[in-house]
Structure 1
Amino acid sequence: METHRATIDRKDEKTSLVLHINNEQLEIELTEDKPNAVKSVFNNLIASLKKGVFKFELEDEKEDLYFHICTEYMGQLNTELSSIHQELEDYELIDKNE
């Protein structure tokens, strides 16, 4: 299982969880409600799961509220990614060429 990193991008008016995968940065904004942007991130993650199972590990040095939120989010996300990958295997939707 591959491990990719996740970071927290804190700016004055915007804070985001950034998932680093396959030389891409997928951003989930934490300070605004943007459901379509979150759906887009998850669609990218599902497409990546077809190539193999992976998880994220949070890399952050500042233990603030965002750190604790993202730590919990990473736990739930990693559980879901593993479950979705298993379903992709069950339905034979895994990309065998990777």
Structure 2
Amino acid sequence: METFKASIIRGDQNTILALNVGDNRYDIILTEDNPNGVKTVFNRLLQQLKNGVFNFELEDSTEDLYFHISKEYITQLNSELSNVYNELKDYELLNE
């Protein structure tokens, strides 16, 4: 299983959870209510998942509210990715 890095980008206007998968970066804006944006990121991660199972590890040194939200988000995301990978495998939908 490959582990990719996730980081928090704190800006003046927005705070972003950045998920780095190889050369690609997928952003989830934490300071916005945008379910379609989250859905788009999740769909892109599912496409990557067909190439092999992976999870995320949060790299951040500032333990603020965004850190705790992101940590829980990553935990849930890793669980979902693992479950979906197993389903893709069961239905022989992997690119491997």
Give the TM-score taking structure 2 as reference length: 0.97
Whole-angstrom CA distance in 2 between matches of 1:6 and 1:47: 18
Q: Distance in 1 between matches of 2:64 and 2:89?
A: 38
* Alignment partner, residue 41 of structure 2: 41
Quote the Cα distance in structure 2 between the aligned partners of 1:47 and 1:29: 20
Q: Secondary structure at the match of 2:26?
A: strand
Please state whether the residue corresponding to 1:13 is helix, strand or coil.
Answer: coil
Whole-angstrom CA distance in 2 between matches of 1:36 and 1:50: 22
Number of the residue aligned with 2:84: 84
Paired residue secondary structure (1:71): helix
Aligned partner of residue 63 in structure 1, secondary structure: coil
Gaps of 5+ in 2: none
TM-score normalised according to structure 1 size: 0.95
Distance in 2 between residues matched to 1:33 and 1:77, nearest whole Å: 18
How many positions carry a matched residue from both structures?
A: 96
Q: Sequence identity of aligned pairs in percent? A: 56
Aligned position for 1:57: 57
CA-atom RMSD in angstroms:
0.6
1:23 shift after superposition: 0.5
Shift of 1:22: 2.1
